[in-house]
Amino acid sequence: MSSPPASEIIQTLATAVNASLQPQSPRGSTQCPLLYTRVQDHCIAFFSLAKVPWAEARHFCKSIHGDLIQFKDVTMYYNVLQYMKEAGFTTDYWLGGRFDMDVSAWIWVQDDTPMTLGSPFWAQTYNKTCVPRSLPQSDPFLSPPDALPGAPCYFYTQAPHNRAQGWCAAITWEHFYYMSDLECQEGYSPLCYYTNADD
């Protein structure tokens, strides 16, 4: 017995979400459509079955009236991660951020706003080569200047560390659900949030 094609699965899920939408619900209703779970003030859909490239993950979220999640503030990020911890999730998820070559920056794609880089959102990643501590006031995307004599050698840098097209944001079990910069063609699950909700 063969599996149905991906387009048929997406259409079935979109139909299920459409059937559960309640446009007549009063503003501020705590109810989320089918496939979505209320996490504080947002409706979030956690999928663990599909491992797809970033563009397909975003297409899937849009087909169920959402988009890949974007974390504009640390409170929302913390609430989602706390929910995932309590639920015992171990899935790796795509987020709605990517490196945009047109503006040469990491952006949230739903509204083209800049992503906050650094702590407390982004993970540390291991490098095989030594990364000397750069001198103060240097551009973190440029090659670090020569370290002072006797300076320590570091093998960890904070993501995102690549400045190139084709890199997208994800949260992974390996990095304790801090954000990582990964190649967009890798396969992870979509983490969707409902964009039509009154939140």
- Pair 186, 171: CB distance under 8 Å: no
What are the two backbone dihedrals, phi and then psi, of residue 22, each rounded to the nearest 5 degrees?
A: -130, 80
The domain segmentation of the chain, as residue ranges, is 34-117+165-199, 124-158
- Pair 160, 6: CB distance under 8 Å: no
Q: Check residues 146 and 41 and name the one with the higher pLDDT.
A: 41
CB contact set of 153 (below 8 Å; sequence gap of 6+)? 130, 131, 132
pLDDT higher than 50, residue 116: yes
- Which CA distances in Å does 157 have to 36, 125, 186? 35, 5, 21
DSSP codes joined into one string, 107-168: EETTTTEEPPPSTTTBPEEEEEEEEEPPPTT--TTSPPPPPPTT--EEEEEESP---STTEE
b/e for 96-109, b at 16 or more Cβ within 10 A? bbbbbeeeeebbbb
Q: What is the mean pLDDT of residues 158-186?
A: 86
- Pair 40, 32: CB distance under 8 Å: no
Q: What is the mean pLDDT of residues 118-141?
A: 67
pLDDT for res 5? 57
pLDDT for res 13? 53
34-117+165-199, CATH topology level: Mannose-Binding Protein A; Chain A (3.10.100)
pLDDT higher than 90, residue 94: yes
Q: What is the mean pLDDT of residues 1-19?
A: 55
Q: Sorting pLDDT into bands at 50, 70 and 90, what band is 160?
A: confident
pLDDT for res 81? 95
Supply the mean pLDDT for the chain: 79
pLDDT for res 24? 34
- Judged by average pLDDT, the poorest of 59-68, 99-108, 128-137 is 128-137
CA–CA gap between residue 68 and residue 194 (Å, rounded): 9
